Amino acid sequence: MPGDGIGPEVIAEGIRVLDAVSEVMNFELNWVKYPFGADHYLATGELLPESALQEMGKHKAIFMGAVGDPRCPEGVLEKGILLALRFYFDEYINLRPVQLLEGVATPLKDKTAKDIDFLVVRENTEDMYIGIGGRVKKGKSRQNLELLRTLYKIKFGLDIDSDHEEIAYQLMVISKGGAERAIRYAFQLAYDTGRKKVTSVDKANVLTYTYGFWREIFNKIKQDFPDVQTEFNYVDAVTMWFVKNPEWFKVVVTPNMFGDIITDLGAMIQGGLGVAAGANLNPEGTSMFEPIHGSAPKYKGLDKANPVATIMAGSLLLDTIGEKKAATLVEKAVREVLKQRKVLTPDLGGTSTTSQLGQAISKKTTEIGASF
């Protein structure tokens, strides 16, 4: 599903590389293309029909570019397509590796590839993303108004009618099951990958109900993993530590909202949004793979966007569908091309185009694949 903006350009390169690896490794990939995104929405009014969701559920994985377009109101495509997919398939893990690859520059002084190598597990279905909220205007929505009037009176002694003519509110929810499955996944990942430290990132010092609950669950689950070291960081402090001491982190687990924010920072320390990949996982169901960046409208159609994030998401896709060797091969090809620093897009300091970099990685895949 290419989507909007630079989505189609980067997905084309992702598909090019996955096709190359399937050929050299002797397995078949069948693609089904879905048109959903801004153009389709503007032409038909349709976002993502239930029938398409049902059909997608029969596939092994979804490979997705990005959605979001300045011609559409904020959030319509993001909620109606991207979040709809994550929720429909209950992709409760958003796995976002933060890995500095050799040949890519980090803005962090004196840090190298061995210092920037950790995995962020972002809870992907709840927290502030549940979409429950509203706007209350004087004289409208009596039911909501009554509730809020009572809450405001108790909490602040304020009378909504006179002090707050209009308010907006959005709820955040952490459920026991939702937090447990994300935190347990992070511990298991730490255990399985030998990265035996898990850092919980939250704001339990202020949002005590929700994130206090998250910590309680973290403390309970850690008892099942006695060899894994643990640590708590508040989200404000973690933005400092990601910059100052990224080498401290092995596996980070965090609720949805902070996970969104800190993984763009994570992307920057590994060389930018152009190289940062992500996987929306339902380990028991349909998963979706995408770069963590968006549709970058300013680069649309310019053949300038970096396809590496999408190609690395393709490697995560292969790993998840059981083509482990192919996944490793793609990663190896990306690493080699970047290390040579000959074919690079402008964000990495080069002058090559999206397709030139995609082609170089695809060629490298075929080359090293022959003796892999």
Residue 230 CA to residue 198 CA, distance in Å, equals: 5
4 is a site residue for ligand IPM (CB under 6 A): no
Q: Are strands 133-137 and 117-123 parallel, antiparallel or unpaired?
A: unpaired
Q: Give the Å distances, CA to CA, from 145 to 135, 157, 173.
A: 9, 15, 21
Return all residues near 167 (Cβ < 8 A) that are at least 6 apart: 135, 136, 148, 160
- List the catalytic residue out of 41, 117, 127, 129: 129
Residue 160 CA to residue 146 CA, distance in Å, equals: 9
Which residue from 274, 339, 342, 341 is spatially nearest to 311, judged by alpha carbons? 274
3-state SS assignment for residue 128: helix
Segment interacting with Mn ion, rule: CB under 5 A, options 185-193, 213-221, 260-268, 357-365: 260-268
Residue 98 CA to residue 269 CA, distance in Å, equals: 8
Q: 225 exposed, middle or buried (CB, 10 Å; 0-12, 13-18, 19+)? A: middle
Write b or e for each residue in 138-177: b if 16 or more Cβ atoms lie within 10 A of its Cβ, otherwise e: eeeeeebbeebbeebeeeeeeebeeeeeebeeeebbbbee
Site string for ligand IPM, 294-323 (x = CB under 6 A): x-----------------------------
Nearer to ligand IPM, 280 or 352 (CB): 280
Q: Are strands 251-254 and 117-123 parallel, antiparallel or unpaired?
A: parallel
Q: Which of 69, 123, 260, 347 binds Mn ion (CB under 5 A)?
A: 260
Site string for Mn ion, 138-177 (x = CB under 5 A): ----------------------------------------
3-state SS assignment for residue 357: helix
CB of 73 to ligand NAD, least distance (A): 10
CB of 260 to Mn ion, least distance (A): 4
Site string for ligand IPM, 226-265 (x = CB under 6 A): ----------------------------------x-----
Residue 116 CA to residue 112 CA, distance in Å, equals: 7
Residue 179 CA to residue 192 CA, distance in Å, equals: 20
Site string for ligand IPM, 77-116 (x = CB under 6 A): -x---xx---------------------------------
Nearer to ligand IPM, 160 or 292 (CB): 292
Segment interacting with ligand IPM, rule: CB under 6 A, options 76-84, 187-195, 244-252, 317-325: 76-84
Q: Which residues bind ligand NAD (CB under 6 A)?
A: 6, 10, 66-68, 78, 82, 273-274, 290, 293-298, 305-306, 309, 347
CB of 103 to ligand IPM, least distance (A): 25
- Is 264 labeled as catalytic in the residue annotation? yes
CB of 295 to ligand NAD, least distance (A): 4
Q: Which does 216 bind (CB under 5 to 8 A by kind): ligand IPM, ligand NAD, Mn ion, none?
A: none
292 is a site residue for ligand IPM (CB under 6 A): yes
Residue 296 CA to residue 94 CA, distance in Å, equals: 21
Nearer to ligand NAD, 190 or 309 (CB): 309
Q: Which residues pair with 134 in a beta bridge?
A: 169
Q: Are strands 61-63 and 93-99 parallel, antiparallel or unpaired?
A: unpaired
- List the catalytic residue out of 4, 260, 319, 347: 260
- Is 236 labeled as catalytic in the residue annotation? yes
CB of 313 to Mn ion, least distance (A): 14
Nearer to ligand NAD, 199 or 310 (CB): 310
What residues are labeled active site?
129, 203, 236, 260, 264
Q: What does the binding site for Mn ion look like in residue numbers (CB under 5 A)?
A: 260
